[in-house]
Each structure stands twice: as C-alpha cells, then as structure tokens.
A = this chain, B = another copy of it.
Amino acid sequence: MSKKLTSRAEGYSKWYNELVVKAGLAENSAVRGCMVIKPYGYAIWEKMQAELDRMFKETGHENAYFPLFVPKSLFEAEEKNAEGFAKECAIVTHYRLQNDPDKPGKLRVDPEAKLEEELIVRPTSEAIIWNTYRGWIQSYRDLPLLINQWANVVRWEMRTRLFLRTAEFLWQEGHTAHATKAEAIAEAKLMNNVYATFVENFMAIPVVQGVKTESERFAGADETFCIEALMQDGKALQAGTSHFLGQNFAKAFDVKFANKEGKQDYVWATSWGVSTRLMGALIMTHSDDHGLVLPPNLAPNQVVIIPIYKNEEQLNAITEVVNGIMKDLRAKNISVKFDNRDTFRPGAKFAQHELQGVPLRIAIGARDLENGTVELARRDTLTKEVVALDALIDKVEGLMTEIQDSLFKKALDFRNTHITEVDTFEEFKTILETKTGFVSAHWDGTNETEEKIKELTKATIRCIPLEMKAEEGVCVYSGNPSKSRVLFAKAY
C-alpha cells in the first residue's frame, strides 16, 4: 500500500505483477516458479472451488484422490500423452537425505537411496487414474464413472508468472469413463458448458466456447473443447478445457467392460480441468489502476464497514449501529466485515479495501449517526453517495446484483468490440498490431497455415467457436477454400 500501483497504460504486465502482490493475492516463493497463494487470494480461490464443486456434484460427479506421483512406465503407456507432457516435469529419483560427511551440519542426497523406477510429480493424472480404473470397471453396471479430483500439479515451466503460469498450480481434474462414444462426447460438452456458466455467471467473465485445432489439442485427446476469454490488453486466455479422449487411455491401460450383451469393449473417456489460472483471468478482466475489482459473487467480503471516530464514546455508538447493519446484511446472505482495527487510520483502510477490490465500502462517522446516514462507496465505478440508514440494506442487496451484472456487461462490451472480422492478411496483421483482441478469419484447416500465421504474427487459433455460423470463404493466408471462420488471437 506504500507506493501507488503502476498504471495499466504505463505497463500492463508490471501493473498485473504489482497488483497480485500488493492486493495480497500471491507472491513468488523460494522455489523457482512456485507461488505462495496468500490468504486473501486463497479466500477467492475457495469461493471458486465451492461453487465449481457444487456444480460438479449437481451433475453427478464425486470427488476422489489419486497419488501425487506417476511411475515413469505409466507415463510411457499412452504415447501421445507422454509426448505432450512427460518432458518438462519434476522427477523424484531418491528417497533419503543423509548428513553430508564433507560438510558438517549440511545434508546431501543419500546415493544408496535411489529409486528403482523414477517417479514423475503429476503434471496431470490421466495415466495414474486410468491405471486405477482398470480395477474399477468390469461391467456396464460400473459405468458411467464420474470422478473429479482437487489437486496440485507440477509442470516445469521455464517462464512463470503468478497464477498465469506457475511450476506448481492448484486445479481440479475430472476423469470420466463411459460405455459409448456419444455419452463421452456429451459429457465433455456438458462440462465445458459448466465451465462457461461458472465463468460467466460467477466470475462475470464472458467466454467463447469452441473446439481446439489439432495442433492446440490436449495430447492424447480426440477433441478438446475450451472456453476462451479476452483480457483488457487484448490478449486471449484459455480459461478451461474439456477433452474427449476417445478410447486412447482405455487402450493404453487396457480398461475394458462387459456390455449388456456380455461383449467386451474398451470404455470411452473424458477429462476436464480448470486451475488457479482463473485467478489471473479474474484480475485481468475487471481490475483497474486502483487495484483489484471483484464481482460480488467472488468477494470474500462483499461489504466492508469503516468507522470514523475521534474517541471511544463515538466508536461505541458507531459499533452499536454497525452491529445492526451487519446482522441485517448477513440475514440476506451478504458477507460483511467491520474493519475496526485501531492500528490503522481510516485513510489506510480505504486504500487497502480499494486495492483489494471489496465491492462496497460503508463509512460511518459521528455526523452520520446524527443524520441517520452512511457513506456508501462502490468499488467498480468509484462513486460515492450518502444513503439513509433505513434504506441501506435494500440498497446494498440491489447493488450486489447490479455490480455483478454491470461487470459482466462491461467485459462483454469490451470483448464484443474486440472481435474483428477480417478478410485479408494485411488487415489481419494490422488488427493484431493495433486494436488487438480476437480476429475472426477464414482458415484452410491445415497445420501448415496455422503454423505459418503463428510464426508471422504470434497469433494462434484460440478456437473454432461452437456457435460460429457456416460461411463459405477463402483462407486469410493461403487463399484456399474455408467453410467457416475461426478465432485468432495472441494469447497468455
């Protein structure tokens, strides 16, 4: 809170990094690429978890927990998976430290305690889970198997950024098994839709649902559904993915079931996940130069109340009124914090809660008590008004919905004005260099063109939108025929 935040115009990246740390969301740790998620950041993540968990259970899923480690041999089993993932991973090779004979007081790895087979710290759990499912699935009566896991995973990323790309991150990974291809595809679509609903309704971030091109697809998947969001700087962010895995893992791990006719068949699979990366999307969609802006659904405290007083007597009188307000707000399921710390002045408290994005701030002083009013400040619009005490609760309740909706609408307007249809490659390049955002363009469907465009512009195909209308055209790069537009963007 000491120094002012760098503005977005001065440097978007710098603004982001400073905001994450100053708002108490996360910070870098002593371990390269691994973050510490601080209490305020974790409280927001917990709200996301609770709502997602509720939605998963409502759609019939159960939670379970699988091992952190994956033996190397299991990784090799699904070839495409191994190619896509196994390379940059944390690898456990030993299981004991010992006192270093050469350096008193120091420890070293015991060379005798070498594992027979190296263990990979899971970058994702398909391999260990499908190896387990083999024992769980014998007959159609065991299907569908609808399981989710909340876990930490590790990918040895070279360039890391808090929440957006970290070596260790928290996520959930759903892994389901089905008797038919159609059921598995329906599941993958359903969960992509659950993600879209959650991100739009709860996080107030508009997303495009689509499928990935082959080159952007999850290794080991036959089809990857995704939700793509647009950040304030015009770069896209993949906010969640849901994979139809075909029978790839079932074949790699020999998971068969007896159908109703008694015939053996490989099961069909999906997997789907969202991670603490969503925190990055949240920050970069709504926040401003004053700090974090939180949609009420995700705010650990939706309302903060700050007393302005000169003496104990005034504080006592204020506290009595505040207790009533808090009781009434809580009765309406609105979370509220009374910031009556005597170790900070009101100005410091205002600054802190603004930086931390508390949706509504109520200030109440001795004169307010006399007038039967409070000062109500809205974080998203930075507007203040004086509200009569007897109108306060209804006012706050109304604002909870209004702010949530307004944040979504603002983000949606931004997103919609940043989807540009282009038909020439010159235009394509110009948009990416000036306005940025999504570029909607025809593409000939080949990896080569996709790769070439990426090389020339750094833009990738974010997705082939599910709702994109069929439209004959020619590829913006090759001039070859195309059946529909796809969305390109530079991306996080």
Contacts and interface: CB of A to CB of B under 8 A. Distances in A.
A36 B97 contact: no
A252 interface: no
Contact of A67 (B35, B39, B343): B35
User: What copy number does this chain have within its complex?
Assistant: 2
A55 interface: no
A284 B39 CA distance: 36
A174 B487 CA distance: 46
Contacts of A170: 65
Contact of A30 (B94, B128, B147, B168): B128
Interface in A1-42: 27, 29-31, 34-39, 42
A315 interface: no
Nearest to A344: B141
A109 B131 contact: no
B72 A107 contact: yes
Contact of A36 (B30, B66, B96, B120): B66
Interface in A120-161: 120-121, 128, 131-132, 135, 141, 147, 151-152, 154, 156
Contact of A94 (B68, B79, B93): B93
A415 B128 CA distance: 41
A112 to B, nearest CB: 13
Contacts of A128: 29-31
A445 interface: no
Contacts of A30: 67, 71, 74, 128, 131-132
Nearest to A151: B152
Contact of A107 (B31, B35, B39, B75): B75
Nearest to A146: B39
A321 to B, nearest CB: 24
A95 B88 contact: yes
A85 B260 CA distance: 53
A121 B118 contact: no
